[in-house]
Chains A and B, each alone.
Chain A
Amino acid sequence: MTAPSAPLIELSNATKRYPGVLALDDVDFRMAVGEVRALLGKNGAGKSTLIKVLGGTERLNEGALRVAGKEVDFRSPKDAIAHGIGTVHQELASVPAMSVAENISLGRWKTRPVTGIAWKEVSTDAEAALAHVGVELPLDAPLSTLSLAQAQLVEIARALSLGAKLLILDEPTSSLAVHEVDLLLQVVKRLSERGIGVIYISHRMDEIERLASSVTVMRDGRIVGELSAGEATPQRVVSLMVGSVDPGDPVEAIPTDAGDVALSVAGLTIPHRVLDATFEVREGEVVGLAGLLGSGRTEILRAIVGAQHGATGTISLGGKPLRRRSIRSTRAAGIFLTPEDRRAEGAVVMLGVDENLVMGNWKKVATAGVIRRERMRETVTATIKKLSIKVPRIDVEISTLSGGNQQKVVIGKALNTEPRVLLMDEPTRGVDVEAKAQIYTLIRRLAASGIGILVVSSETEELLQVCDRILVLRSGRIHENLPIRDVTRDALFEHMIRKETDD
């Protein structure tokens, strides 16, 4: 390879192992100067590991990383930054109370003896960095007063002021409001014109089409396709991402001429996230809510139980509109949510399985506020048996259980509230294959008992396996309502990533 054509970065034969998982399997990856590369792949395909390796937070087990032709070994993000690789994560790394200027030179503020920080220079540097990005922002404004998109631009400016030649953007538009996306796309375009390489993780085909010069698709820790922008049609991308894995048969296709409408949602709107969502879930029906990260799927579930700020619209249960919408009143009415993040929202990890199981409905085991041990043991034992949760003792701390068993406890907690409608956000995240199958069967069994179930999942296979019907959410709107027998895996994925103009 001759010097002028040395790639910006080059990863060769890269392998990264985690216990039991091969996250990167002999990957070759290179970026040219000024290239914008879209990186696609399903959850667990290896995208995150790849960008972590490039960003210096993970080290390779095997293989080599070269920057401008020279082999490097990043031990920390600092090393990566020193070699001109900057990462902007989904979770922004800024200080909300500090000004835009301070955030841009965070921790590197120029100082003078005696007088301390040279505010003038901090401001001029920030101004220069923002000019480089091509935006104007109020330098003195605290970051917390900016929009999320603007805060992202501040991080990009910081990365550039640190000398980034390669910018990694991890799902940058997933949490942006629709009108903010354009601003970011313009910035990325401008940067690439100036010779800065950008790795862009996103699944929104319209963005990819507008931006990317090439597309890399990963699956199971390998790169399964490198396409030029022209070749990357949604159909091709989807078939590469999904591969030819057998999606598995739908779990006991129980007929769904199911009962009356259990839950109906009308005109549900969440400012900047969800627009006018209207749908219903019948008794005994499992309805899937499909959409990319940031499509508003989680927000819809949270809004139904009254946990989402600013949501408007009508939620009715059994035909009766709910007047008050708080978590407590929707629970009392018979709607319960199992949240996507078990550790943060689903379970109290310091408490036992028994208490986690009854926490949603103490009345079941207590009289006048006093817990009846006998009733507690009976209820808990019955739930554990019903869901086949594996526990050494009923009061064992939930944190000692496997992910699958923890998830079953969270589902058990929901069942003990005797719900008519169950909302499940990513019911099998972080759960092994065997437990997944058990949870699918469980979902079908619960539906057969008359509960209406709404499932959100980023895994299309999962939705295809358990649902009777799938709603597709794109940019905050419900675009399709697909009966399960009419939809294939590829078609579903295409619906999820399709451009608005295709409609």
Chain B
Amino acid sequence: MTSARIEAATARESGTSTGLWVRRHANEVGLVGAILVLYVVLAPLAPNFLSSANQFNILRDAAFVGIIAWGMTLVLIAGEIDISVGANAAFSGVVLAMMIRNGVPIVLACILVILLGTAIGLGAGALRALFDIPSFIVTLALWLGLRGLAEVMSSAVPVVIPDISFQNLGGGNVGGVPNPAIFMVILLAIFIFISRRTVFGRSVYAVGGNAEAAKLSGIPVPLIRMGVFAITGCLASFAGVLFASRLGSGNSEAASGLEFDVIAAVVVGGTSLFGGRGSMIGTLLGVLFIAALGNGLVLMGVDPFMQNVVRGIVILVAVFVNIVSTKRLARAR
């Protein structure tokens, strides 16, 4: 019986190298297909959808989601969730603008804000890791608190950043490629490396896949959990800095709902909400899919409320497919 099982397993793993590659990356291949379908459908329906200017728009939209999504992928792989990222980004923008207005040099202000955002994430992670408060609750509280704090600090009015040149950081481009997209790609490379090649990254998978086994193996489970929240905190505040730069002001209402776009993109990208499974490339495709879908719906002139309906359905279908396939895999073994 056992040898038969091994043979079956071997058979599953063998086959042509292309076939093997496709099977092991079924999720990514499927997403590329979904994006192609989306482009084929949107190209004739949405005016100017394929123009290079619009493609760069899609990239810019994708960037704000993508930058945070890399960290969110690790959070979900670790079996956690962080819904505070949008509020953290808005809060960071407001703090940044107020610092600059009070004479703090821009570069220093940016660094301080990102450190603050990282510390906030680390604190949330500590509450989860050391006191077992569910990460959903911790970050829900942060989501409320940070947005509220930003509103109090700015009286809910945009805090204008006087230095016009600062707007280049988030609003400029290099040869037509928006700066945020460049940051997104650089960070993607870093996070692919972290997730595949570092002890920290692989420990995230181990903790999310089986926290008990990780603990008994001597992996510092609490530190890993704190680490992933520190990362989303850091990335959220960085995205907040880019937002503030692009808008030329710190806005307490900025990035509203961003957390849901980010989580949706990660989940559409095939990362398991139960932890242990997921990839940065999958998330990249999820981010592009969500950005292109949103952009296309706008260009088609779909009613904004209806857009939300469509996005909701798409996210639901993606999660459905993800969970059904996970179960099927579990049964196959």
Interface positions of A (Cβ within 8 A of B): 19-20, 305, 307, 327-328, 331-332, 337, 339, 344-351, 355, 359-362, 366, 369-371, 373, 390, 392-393, 396, 399-405, 413, 417, 432, 434-435
Contact = CB atoms under 8 A, between A and B. Distances in A.
A351 B6 CA distance: 18
Contact of A350 (B13, B216, B277): B277
Nearest to B219: A359
Contacts of A331: 217-218
Contacts, number: 101
B6 A347 contact: no
Contacts of A392: 9-10, 13-14
Q: Which 3 residue pairs of A and B lie closest in terms of their CB atoms, listed nearest first?
A: A348-B209, A331-B218, A400-B9
Chief secondary structure at chain B's binding surface? helix
Interface stretch (B129-137, B175-183, B194-202, B258-266): B194-202
A348 B6 contact: no
B5 interface: yes
A401 B9 contact: yes
B45 interface: no
B328 interface: no
Interface in B183-222: 197-200, 202-203, 205-206, 209-210, 212-220
A371 B197 contact: yes
B102 interface: no
B199 A366 contact: yes
B159 to A, nearest CB: 39
Contact of B210 (A20, A349, A417): A349
B2 A371 contact: no
A478 to B, nearest CB: 24
Given A305-B216, A346-B213, A370-B199, 20 more contacts: A327-B215, A337-B216, A345-B210, A345-B212, A345-B213, A345-B216, A347-B213, A348-B206, A348-B209, A351-B202, A351-B206, A351-B276, A355-B202, A359-B206, A359-B213, A360-B218, A366-B199, A399-B333, A413-B217, A417-B218
B12 interface: yes
A19 B1 contact: yes
Q: Which of B5, B13, B215, B216 has the most CB of A within 10 A?
A: B216
Contacts of B6: 390, 401-402, 405
Nearest to B276: A350
B256 to A, nearest CB: 35
A396 B214 CA distance: 19
Contact of B197 (A19, A370, A404): A370
Interface in B249-291: 276-277
Contact of B212 (A344, A359, A366, A369): A344
Contacts of B277: 350
Contacts of A360: 217-218
B218 A393 contact: no
Q: Which of A362, A371, A435 has the most CB of B within 10 A?
A: A362
B12 A400 contact: yes
A351 B209 contact: yes
B1 A348 contact: no
A355 B197 contact: no
A359 B12 contact: no
A404 B214 contact: no
A405 B205 CA distance: 22
B2 A359 contact: no
A346 B210 CA distance: 9
Contact of B215 (A307, A393, A399, A417): A307
A226 to B, nearest CB: 32
A348 B218 contact: no
A406 to B, nearest CB: 11
Interface residues of B, number: 31
B209 A371 contact: no
B9 A371 contact: no
Given A349-B209, A350-B209, A350-B277, A328 B220 contact: yes
Contacts of A369: 198-200
Nearest to B77: A350
Contact of B2 (A345, A348, A403): A403
Contacts of B216: 305, 307, 327, 337, 339, 345-346
B5 A402 contact: yes
A473 B174 CA distance: 73
B205 A350 contact: yes
A434 B205 CA distance: 32
Interface in B41-57: none
A140 B92 CA distance: 49
A319 B214 CA distance: 29
A337 B6 CA distance: 27
Q: Which of A337, A350, A370, A405 has the most CB of B within 10 A?
A: A350
Contacts of A405: 6
A392 B15 CA distance: 12
Nearest to B329: A399
A359 B215 CA distance: 10
A466 B299 CA distance: 73
A361 B203 CA distance: 11
Q: Which of A20, A347, A400, A401 has the most CB of B within 10 A?
A: A400
B5 A371 contact: no
Nearest to B9: A400
Contacts of A348: 205-206, 209-210, 213-214, 276
21 contacts: A305-B216, A331-B218, A337-B216, A339-B213, A346-B213, A346-B216, A347-B213, A348-B210, A350-B209, A351-B202, A351-B206, A351-B276, A359-B213, A369-B200, A371-B197, A371-B198, A371-B202, A401-B9, A402-B2, A402-B6, A435-B2
Nearest to A435: B2
Contacts of B5: 402
A20 B83 CA distance: 49
Contacts of B9: 392, 396, 400-401
A362 B199 contact: yes
Contacts of B205: 348, 350-351, 355
A179 to B, nearest CB: 30
A76 to B, nearest CB: 20
B302 to A, nearest CB: 39
Contacts of B215: 307, 327
B198 A400 contact: no
A402 B14 CA distance: 17
B197 A393 contact: no
Contact of B206 (A337, A339, A355): A355
B13 A400 contact: yes
A417 B333 CA distance: 29
Contacts of B210: 344-345, 347-350
Nearest to A302: B216
A359 B214 contact: yes
B2 A404 contact: yes
B2 A396 contact: no
Given A347-B210, A349-B210, A402-B5, A327 B218 contact: yes
B1 A20 contact: yes
Contacts of B212: 344-345
B132 to A, nearest CB: 14
Contacts of A400: 9, 12-13, 333
Contacts of A435: 2
